Structure 1
């Protein structure tokens, strides 16, 4: 027996649309969170440099050829001197 006579009214349709949007938003958010958690490993910050110690970043720049040996040695000495102070 249908007490509502087949007519939901405006609030029924609004509630249906809002719940539809919330449901699919929650599904999509869960997929995004799951995908981000599974893609762990090498984390990179916004600048594209790998996170780590300053000496590791300097060694990576030297390995890529961005700086030469004299600049690498000078910066490494400065880093170690600053860390000791």
Structure 2
């Protein structure tokens, strides 16, 4: 009877695809196979989020600060007015000069 069980096709299938097939005593790679793609997906997600956030932040800061020369000049003029270096009449006069000399720039709210 033992000979019949050891030579049966079912036992051969269990032995061929059993826990000791090809990968030593651990039973194969198992769920560790999923860790490699998950690691790379997580790495790319973190890199994309970090680089994307920095890129979007710099773009937003450039828009908020106004990288156009006329916008920078207006910002400096507004800061001087806020600090009390110039009065309102001088601020408005200089602002009109800046805007008249920079017609290509678009000024929302004007």
More helix per residue: 1 or 2?
2
What is the TM-score of this pair, normalised by structure 2? Answer: 0.32
What is the TM-score of this pair, normalised by structure 1? Answer: 0.37
